[in-house]
């Protein structure tokens, strides 16, 4: 992977070489925090001088805060992404990816906080315009991604009858 200017937003991650479908391209780790601590971290990060904060829901009151200033932090959202979850915190190519293509994943597959909301400019024909922490409830996404969600959201989907 390499970091470069993105047509989606700011900077993005790009494939240096062709990536065959199914290839794991990223394994994530970080610090586990409760929802209260996460809200404090996000409030502090609202200051534009502070570091950008990336998180993944792990359980209803447990979140993985990813380390700052790592290449994965430049990964942009896409409503028709070329990456998806294949293990608890592993992203793999959803389809063949060409060298130079931007690597994207659907933030809905890893974000479960109802307060989360962001505008999307991915440019995909499937663009939802807005991505929320409740998008895991959308039948079209459940069908599209099957079991390719972080474990906490997959548990929610199964508990919700999906």
pTM across the whole model: 0.80
Per-residue pLDDT, 157: 93
Please check whether residue 109 is in contact with residue 134, taking contact to mean a CB–CB distance below 8 angstroms: no
Mean pLDDT of 104-124: 90
Superfamily in which the 2-161 domain is placed by CATH: SET domain (2.170.270.10)
Q: With bands split at pLDDT 50, 70 and 90, how would you rate the model's confidence at 136?
A: very high
Instruction: Compute the C-alpha angle 50/59/10, nearest 5°.
Output: 35
Per-residue pLDDT, 31: 78
């Amino acid at each position: 992977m390499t970091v470069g200017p993105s047509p989606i937003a700011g900077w993005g991650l790009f494939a240096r070489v062709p990536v065959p479908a199914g290839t794991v391209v990223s394994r994530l780790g970080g610090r586990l925090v409760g929802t209260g601590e996460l809200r404090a971290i996000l409030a502090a990060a609202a200051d534009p001088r502070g570091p950008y904060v990336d998180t993944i829901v792990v359980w209803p009151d447990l979140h993985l805060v990813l380390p700052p200033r790592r290449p994965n932090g430049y990964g942009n959202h896409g409503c028709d992404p070329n990456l998806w979850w294949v293990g608890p915190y592993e992203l793999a190519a959803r389809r063949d990816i060409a060298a130079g293509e931007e690597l994207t994943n659907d933030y809905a597959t890893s974000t479960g906080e109802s307060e989360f909301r962001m505008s999307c400019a991915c440019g995909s024909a499937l663009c939802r315009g807005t991505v929320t922490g409740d998008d895991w409830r959308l039948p079209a996404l459940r069908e599209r991604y099957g079991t390719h969600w972080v474990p906490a959201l997959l548990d929610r989907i199964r508990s919700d009858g999906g």
